Amino acid sequence: MFESNLPSPAALGGLDNAGLVDVMQNAARLQSAALARVFAAGAQLYHRRLAEQAVADREIWALDGWDAVAAEIAAAQGISRGRAAGQLRIGLALAERLPRLAALFAAGVVDYQVVAAVVHRTELMIDPGALTRMDRWLERNAARWGSWSRDRIVEAVDYWVQVLEPVAVREARAFDKSRHIGVSPQHSGLAEIFGDVRTPDALAFDQRLSELAATVCRADPRTTQQRRADALAALTAGAATMACECGSPQCPAATGDAPRGCGDDPCDGRAGHRRGPLGGARVCARVRWHLGAGGARDRQIGHVAVRSPPQ
């Protein structure tokens, strides 16, 4: 544990260097332990106030239970209601979701920075089993995070949120909502394609472009990147091959039915596009397996580098 009978600031001048270090260590742990009790008391007060309130009276409330308790906490400490609400949020999370981490906090083993980061990053977890496993892992590891930056703590916690309950990762949920595709015509006659899509879909798209780009003969004058860009016409037409531009009438890749992009109507029955299975679908299934069960290592699939989540 730690000493709670700390010397007064005036008495510090009489201590040697080792004594000053001991004071700092004990004071830091005492600060964490005291703050843990503030948060725990707020959570306990909230539960008591909630139990005292009659459900029938809720229609005439001017404030709900949360706001009322936050106001009491703010008045008790002389702080703003916003800060009090933040304390209440952390206190309830520790009491109801992460009791083992709460015990470390109460013992002064972990500080507020660690606790606040963990509570924020695990807030979207709703699986009780996953939360219990997370709490046990925190009990074993969080004590050594005092010297870590917040970014490093967030990275460590997000790693295990991804393992235990992937949909609860904050960035993943926020970014998934912002997925989109856009097309911006340029003055050069080309157009820019941009957007954010789900990784398996992007990798399937990437793989399909490469497959189509490989259907022309070796004499095709275009670079690989140019063929991948031109493969978009075949992809949108659902064709199995793309048109070769070698110009030879004996081209082994010539089928007479590959779409040529600009000017072609994919709905025109005369075009006779040769359709085939979209190989990217196989990649999509394989990538979903990688993302769900792959090890913590980088992978190169098609033209896209993917870091698989840890076990």
Along the chain (311 residues), what's the average pLDDT of each consecutive run of 10 residues?
70 88 90 95 92 65 75 94 94 96 96 96 93 96 94 92 87 69 87 85 89 92 93 89 90 62 40 42 43 43 42 39
**Amino acid sitting at position 277:** P
Q: Give per-residue burial for 233-260: e unless 16+ CB within 10 Å, then b.
A: bbbebebbbbbbbbeeeebebbbeebbe
* H or E, element range at 139: helix 128-141
**Amino acid sitting at position 300:** Q
Q: Give per-residue burial for 144-175: e unless 16+ CB within 10 Å, then b.
A: ebeebeeeebbebbbebbbbbbeebbeeeeee
Q: What's the rounded Cα separation, in Å, for the pair 2 and 24? A: 11
* Domain match, 143 and 227 both: no
* Domain match, 127 and 148 both: yes
Residue 251 lies in a domain: no
Residues 26, 6 contacting (CB under 8 angstroms): yes
C-beta neighbour count of 129 within 10 angstroms: 9
Provide the pLDDT for residue 175.
63
* Domain match, 185 and 123 both: no
Q: Which of 145, 178, 211 is the last residue of a domain?
A: 178
Residues 6+ apart with CB under 8 A from 10: none
Residue 152 lies in a domain: yes
* Domain match, 87 and 125 both: no
The candidate with the shortest Cα–Cα distance to 45, out of 70, 63, 27, is: 70
Taking CA atoms, 80 is separated from 42, 74, 217, in Å, by: 14, 6, 72
Residue 301 lies in a domain: no
Q: What's the pTM value of the predicted model, to 2 decimals?
A: 0.54
Looking at the structure of the chain, the number of domains it has is: 3
Query: Which two three-digit tokens encode residue 49?
Result: 């106030």
Q: What's the rounded Cα separation, in Å, for the pair 100 and 102? A: 5
Tokens 């606790």 identify what position? 115
Q: Which residues span the domain enclosing 67?
A: 1-97
Residues 118, 154 contacting (CB under 8 angstroms): no
Give counts: helices (H), strands (E), the chain. 11, 4
Residue 13 lies in a domain: yes
Question: pLDDT tens digits, residue range 1-56?
Answer: 445 678 888 888 888 899 899 889 889 999 999 999 999 999 999 999 888 876 65
* Domain match, 32 and 52 both: yes
DSSP conformational letter for 274: -
Provide the pLDDT for residue 86.
94
Q: What's the rounded Cα separation, in Å, for the pair 243 and 220? A: 10
